[in-house]
Homo-oligomer: A and B are copies of this chain.
Amino acid sequence: MNDIRGLLGTAVNVQSMVFGNMGETSGTGVAFTRDPSSGENKFFGEYLMNAQGEDVVAGIRTPQKIDTLQKANPGVYDQLCHIREILEKHYHDMQDIEFTIQEGKLYMLQTRNGKRTIFAWLRSQVEMVEEGLIDKKTAVSRVPAAEFNKLFAPILDNNYIRDLGLKEATHGLNASPGGACGQIYFTAAEAEEAAAMGKDVLLVRTETSPEDIGGMAVSKGIVTCRGGMTSHAAVVARGMGSPCVSGCGQIHVDEIKKTLEVNGQLLSEGDYMSIDGFTGAVYAQKIPVKPSEIMQVLEGTMNEKESTLYQNYSKFMGYVSELKTMSVRTNADTPSDAHHAVQLGAEGVGLCRTEHMFIGGKRIISMRKMILADTYGERQIALSELLPMQREDFIGIFRELKGLPVTIRLLDPPLHEFLPNDHTSRHEMALQLGTTVEAISKKINALQEFNPMLGFRGCRLAIVYPEILEMQVRAIIEAAITVKRQGVDVHPEIMIPLVGIYKEFNFCKEHAEAVIAKVFDEQGLKVEYKIGTMVEVPRAAITADEIAKSAEFFSFGTNDLTQMTCGFSRDDAASFLSHYVNDPDKQFYPYDPFQTIDFDGVGKLIKMAVGLGRGVRPGMKMGICGEHGGDPKSIAFCQSVGLDYVSCSPFRVPIARLAAAQAAIAQNASK
């Protein structure tokens, strides 16, 4: 009976599979050795009585039917339970088995590793480790990292949907997982206003732009009519961990009338909608949303003893930490993001984007004042208003990180992104700054660019206006000293963006070091720091040896590096990239290169840069901070080229940690 080959056969030679005549029951069954939904160690399956011998295998699997067999033919049932154990022990994993019972005799037809939800994966693997069935390495390498984020997302109450028989109003792309429900608003400003009044907001936009960040941040979920899986809305939503359904072409927004029309249905501002970011479903009703159990425990609203899911998660992540070799950092711009990421296991901040600190509230006013400044003096005044705000942000983040490294990227986006597009906002801005709409429009026109991605941004801003860099470096170092005085260890890493040529880096580094020396002197206290660069312009990768002479670390900005290396803009590529990835006749790229690193192209460049950089500076610290930092296949690539860390959105930290552990296991195995 321990001979597995003897247990199994096809329906053709069922005669050899007879285990004994246990009654008159007949029929075919499928079953899992554990619950494929929860992972509980409990026999779970379906056995259908069928005297006519009809093929009824493709039914819905429910545990009830197995109970029925237990009553109808306890002998066969016990035999099946015994076989269940043998199979699991042999295959060291949960099995999906097929069997048939002919006139009371049990025949085994087939077995294979069972498909299951991520929840079941987690529980089954942890329990198998504890049962001694598998080792930690096996458990960790099996769990599908790509689905790991589903553990954390809030979920729409599907029972409620089923009970009320609710139908989808429309369907878009499942751009960011999780359920969300709220009152709809059509502009970021209105969303912010409504959220400030305590409302649950669902932001519905034709498409989003960087100006909408504030409104997106306060919304429970985001719906867009245009844009794919890598549109601004989708990328930002995943970064924020907010549910998002993008590209709902059937929704037509009228911002003026403050209404939307979807398949003949008209909704107005303030009406409720719900979205399921797991599936892309959009409902024109209010539907309850439940947070994930793990998040409830992490946020302290549930005791970990009440949550089997959390306990398994915690044990499993313990295995992960033991096995991985790369660090996992997070991309966090606020103390609250940093806090969540550390809760989820982040070992540092790999990318703190300072531009997000210039948007929202009064900050944008000072920022705009800075941009409109005609002279160095005027610019200095505006910068001195921004300095204390920046410093406070960094203090908050340093405190949350408690000595873990924090990589802060200096101002990166083109300045026109901070200026308003519409006349009303320009008018408002003119009033705030005591200038004219004409002056503002003139500046906006002067800053207009044909290809903003390739424009006046990144370190180019610091080179033309070194005083911006100087303010930011001062804020970072003053904040670090403040936190150090409070007894908290601090490791700032200053990152110069968009470097293409070592002279740019050296210019910025020299200016930064001059400010740092001054602050140390003023404060009578020093902190450790590093100055390094993003490698995101192909030229930087090609000449990494020259840059590494003075840069202390590299962080690969794979979003921009992909755009420039492959020559397509993330925002515009939808029109042809779908052909490149999804069309079975073409499939020029095996995966969307904005989700998974293009190994043969961008990856080759990264490999080259790692080699050139470490050739000059052995052991040079290198990481990745693009969207790819949270993608398991890309993380395996990072492991293979010897990066020290990956950095990703806070809510992808657990996935990244798992993927890093899996990559380390795979690398070890292939050695």
Contact = CB atoms under 8 A, between A and B. Distances in A.
B538 A569 contact: no
A322 to B, nearest CB: 37
Nearest to A604: B542
Task: Kindly report how many copies of this chain are found in the complex they form together.
Answer: 2
Given A455-B572, A601-B543, A602-B539, A501 B460 contact: no
A164 interface: no
Contacts of A589: 501
Interface string A521-564: 00000000000000011110011001000000000000010011
Contacts of A600: 501, 543, 546
B542 A572 contact: no
Interface in A497-515: 498, 500-501, 503-504, 507
B452 A453 contact: no
A571 interface: yes
A464 to B, nearest CB: 5
A450 interface: yes
Interface in A617-661: none
Contact of A560 (B507, B567, B579): B567
A567 B564 contact: yes
A538 B563 contact: no
Interface residues of A, number: 49
Contact of A542 (B455, B565, B579): B565
Given A456-B576, A569-B449, A507 B586 contact: yes
Interface string A454-465: 111000100110
A566 interface: yes
Interface in A405-463: 449-456, 460, 463
A580 B539 CA distance: 15
A543 B603 CA distance: 11
B566 A539 contact: yes
A580 B456 CA distance: 12
A453 B456 contact: no
A486 interface: no
A450 B207 CA distance: 13
Interface string A593-607: 000001011101100
A567 B498 contact: yes
A571 B501 contact: no
Interface of A: 449-456, 460, 463-464, 498, 500-501, 503-504, 507, 536-539, 542-543, 546, 560, 563-569, 571-573, 575-576, 579-580, 586-589, 598, 600-602, 604-605
19 contacts: A449-B569, A454-B563, A455-B569, A455-B573, A460-B568, A463-B586, A500-B567, A501-B588, A503-B586, A507-B588, A537-B566, A537-B567, A538-B567, A539-B567, A542-B601, A542-B604, A543-B600, A560-B567, A564-B565
4 tightest Cβ-Cβ pairs between the two chains A and B? A454-B569, A451-B569, A537-B567, A539-B601
